[in-house]
RNA sequence: GUGGGAGUAGCUCAGCUGGUUAGAGCAUCAGAUUGUGGAUCUGAGGGUCGCGGGUUCGAAUCCCGUCUCUCACCCCA
């Protein structure tokens, strides 16, 4: 019986692995240069940890199992609860601010579709212990810094930013009851995702009072921060939230990424735990789900049994990002980058042992070196060198036998140099 | 979990309303070619036509089920 791969999983052949590594290596490099330190946790945790803050729907999308000791466990669908647990355990000794990142492999038992699989990688960055929206600005900056590094520009992607705090204040100011807020958020989050008519109908279902509904509709038509002032009146909370957004955009401007960023009142985020600034980054073609999303979650650590400490962060999965980079042709020269540096070839079979010595020396000197197992004509060996994207070929022939010289061939230009063996290796350093 | 579309070689696909031994291009391997590669030419290997059942003298082709992929919905940490 032929065994097939499991639904929603991927096999990474070397060419796929090269793309995955391109994505993940850059995640790591950008995190480090933005001052984040790497952490990781176990790939499974107690099931209860994920049920704590999630509804039944989300709990049903976990890969859960019972171990031999009767413990109910689940493969991690996200790493934030693990982060909360780890930070809470050492909260009194960790120097602040806590700036951590991780690149966990996650599993969710959802139905796969475009940009969403059952197993994927997700870059997470979090800043814990900073109230100031400068931390939110840094999270956004770091995300944009990454996307720019991949070659994407403000013509390709946009950061849409809003504030849960603002929405909460205004909805309360409009007279919407607190217990209705979650439902209303759920609808508002759809604003950019469904047709205008559908949006209005959905709104009607959660806000029956027509004068309140009208206020909300008018609010959702707002397109810039400036227009917000008309709505707030003297409401202190709302005005503070607007001030915070203005400060955030000021930071983003100073850091030079303002062209990527836009205020968008339709960004609410599905999750209940967001408390302040929220944002999502989209591909401008609008055909895909969000590339990444994040925001402030000031209550989460307390919800997981710790002190109340402010936190903000974001997550970026590899699926949508991979589609975007592929579409924009940004996986360039990966086979070249991963190719062999020196392919060592024989023009004389009696030099087999000398060839192995050269290969071994190259490898010990830290160079990517390889050779042909089966040998054959020099032509065949050069052909193999091309197949593995070798940058240079080192040829051992009569020059070696007579004068201990190597032929060094540049596979790109075809140019050849003859150098003495010891000169060659001393130049390598 | 609900609904639409699709499964023929590693990949992209052809295969007429059911009728010999299921094809092509690309890729792979070998040879032309034992002192110079990417090209070209020649040849070879590779398929239980996703799987199971049904209809039929006969099924890649028609029907049912199932699995997988894919798109949308739910949800989206």
**Model pLDDT, residue A37:** 98
Chain centre to alpha carbon of residue A393 = 37
- Nearest nucleotide to the CA of A4, by C1', is B68
ipTM for this prediction: 0.89
Residue A175 burial (CB count, 10 A): 11
Q: pTM of this prediction?
A: 0.93
**Model pLDDT, residue A332:** 83
- Nearest nucleotide to the CA of A77, by C1', is B77
Q: Print pLDDT tens along chain A (429 aa).
A: 467 788 888 889 888 899 999 999 999 999 999 999 999 999 999 999 998 877 677 778 899 999 999 999 999 999 999 999 999 999 999 999 999 999 999 999 988 889 999 999 999 999 999 999 999 999 999 999 999 999 999 999 999 999 999 999 999 999 888 878 888 888 898 888 888 888 888 888 888 888 888 899 989 999 899 898 888 777 899 999 999 999 999 999 999 999 999 999 999 887 778 999 999 999 998 888 999 999 999 999 999 999 999 999 999 999 999 999 998 889 888 887 888 999 999 999 999 999 999 999 999 999 999 999 988 899 999 999 999 999 999 999 999 999 999 999 999 999 999 999 999 999 997
Q: How far apart are CA A241 and CA A277, in angstroms?
A: 9
- C1' of B75 to CA of A61 (Å): 9
- Would the Cβ of A10 be found within 7 angstroms of any atom in strand B? no
- Would the Cβ of A164 be found within 7 angstroms of any atom in strand B? no
Q: How far apart are CA A193 and CA A178, in angstroms?
A: 25
Q: Which residues contact A141 (CB under 8 A, 6 or more apart)?
A: A34, A252, A255, A257
Residue with tokens 């909370």: A237
Query: Which of chain A's residues 358-417 bind strand B, using a 7 Å CB cutoff?
Result: 374, 376-380, 382-383, 385-387, 395, 397-399, 407, 409, 411-414, 416
Q: How far apart are CA A429 and CA A413, in angstroms?
A: 24
Query: Which of chain A's residues 65-124 bind strand B, using a 7 Å CB cutoff?
Result: 77-78, 80, 108, 110-114, 116
Residue with tokens 């840094």: A138
Two tokens at A383?
């052909």
């Amino acid at each position: 019986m032929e065994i097939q791969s499991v639904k929603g999983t991927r096999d990474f052949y070397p060419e796929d692995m090269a793309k995955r590594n391109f994505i993940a290596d850059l995640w790591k490099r950008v995190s480090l240069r933005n001052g984040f330190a790497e952490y990781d946790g176990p790939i499974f945790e107690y099931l209860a940890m994920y049920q704590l803050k999630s509804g039944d729907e989300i709990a049903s999308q976990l890969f859960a199992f019972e171990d031999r000791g009767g413990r109910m466990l689940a493969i991690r669908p996200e790493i934030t609860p693990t982060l909360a647990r780890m930070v809470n355990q050492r909260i009194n000794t960790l120097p602040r601010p806590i700036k951590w990142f991780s690149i966990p492999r996650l599993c969710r038992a959802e139905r796969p579709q475009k940009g969403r699989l059952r197993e994927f990688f997700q870059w997470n960055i979090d800043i814990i212990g900073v109230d100031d929206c400068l931390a939110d600005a840094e999270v956004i900056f770091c995300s944009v810094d990454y996307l720019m590094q991949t070659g994407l520009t403000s013509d390709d992607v946009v950061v849409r930013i809003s504030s849960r705090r603002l929405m909460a204040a205004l909805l309360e100011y409009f007279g919407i009851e607190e217990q209705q807020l979650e439902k209303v958020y759920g609808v508002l989050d759809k604003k950019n995702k469904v047709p205008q008519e559908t949006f209005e109908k959905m709104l009607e279902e959660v806000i029956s009072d027509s004068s309140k509904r009208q206020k909300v509709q008018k609010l959702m038509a707002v397109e810039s921060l400036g227009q917000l002032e008309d709505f707030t009146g003297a409401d202190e909370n709302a005005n503070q939230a607007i001030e915070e957004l203005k400060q955030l955009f000021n930071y983003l401007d100073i850091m030079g990424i303002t062209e990527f960023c836009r205020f968008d009142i339709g960004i609410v985020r599905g999750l209940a735990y967001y408390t302040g600034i929220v944002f999502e980054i989209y591909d401008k073609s609008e055909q895909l789900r969000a590339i990444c999303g994040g925001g402030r979650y000031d209550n989460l650590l307390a919800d997981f049994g710790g002190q109340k400490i402010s936190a903000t962060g974001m997550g970026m999965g590899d699926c949508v990002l991979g589609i975007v980079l592929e579409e924009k042709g940004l996986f360039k020269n990966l086979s070249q980058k991963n190719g062999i540096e020196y392919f060592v070839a024989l023009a004389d079979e009696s030099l087999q042992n000398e060839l192995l010595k050269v290969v071994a020396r190259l490898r010990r000197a830290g160079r990517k070196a390889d050779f042909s197992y089966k040998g054959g004509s020099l032509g065949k060996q050069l052909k193999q060198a091309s197949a593995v994207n070798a940058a240079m070929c080192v040829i051992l022939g009569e020059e070696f036998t007579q004068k201990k010289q190597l032929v060094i061939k540049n596979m790109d230009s075809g140019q050849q140099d003859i150098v003495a063996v010891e000169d060659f290796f001393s130049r390598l350093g």
